[in-house]
């Protein structure tokens, strides 16, 4: 493995992060709101895994973590307080 190769644990982190953002979006019923972001991140993960490099892997992890944080910060669509506003 050269120094530019994506470490196996980062590939696993990317796959898990993709599953986490999808699961959180589904749990909060925000798939439609974040549809473009979820699709874009899934495409980025697929591209990184098809041609893995350390730089692209780290960039995808940063993007995925930012998306996960946006989902955490977003209000839950099934929240009764949101429905009353």
Cα of first residue to Cα of last residue in the chain, in angstroms, is 55
Please check whether residue 2 lies inside any domain of the structure. no
Other beta carbons within 10 angstroms of residue 25's beta carbon come to 21
Total domains, the chain: 1
Q: What is the pTM of this model?
A: 0.85
Assigned domain for 30 exists: yes
Residue 31 domain flag? yes
- In-domain check, residue 51: yes
Specify the pLDDT at position 4.
Answer: 79
**Cβ(9)–Cβ(29) below 8 Å:** no
Scanning the structure block, which residue is given the tokens 């699961």? 23
Query: Does residue 3 lie in a domain region?
Result: no
| Domain boundaries, position 65 | 8-84
Band (pLDDT 50/70/90 cuts) for residue 1 is: low
């Amino acid at each position: 493995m050269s120094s530019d190769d994506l470490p196996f644990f980062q590939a696993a982190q990317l796959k898990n992060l993709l599953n986490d953002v999808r699961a959180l979006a589904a749990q909060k019923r925000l798939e439609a709101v974040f549809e473009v972001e979820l699709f874009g991140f899934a495409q980025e993960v697929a591209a990184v895994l098809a041609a893995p490099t350390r730089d692209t892997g780290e960039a995808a992890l940063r993007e995925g973590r930012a998306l996960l944080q946006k989902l955490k910060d977003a209000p839950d669509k099934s929240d009764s307080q949101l429905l009353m506003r």
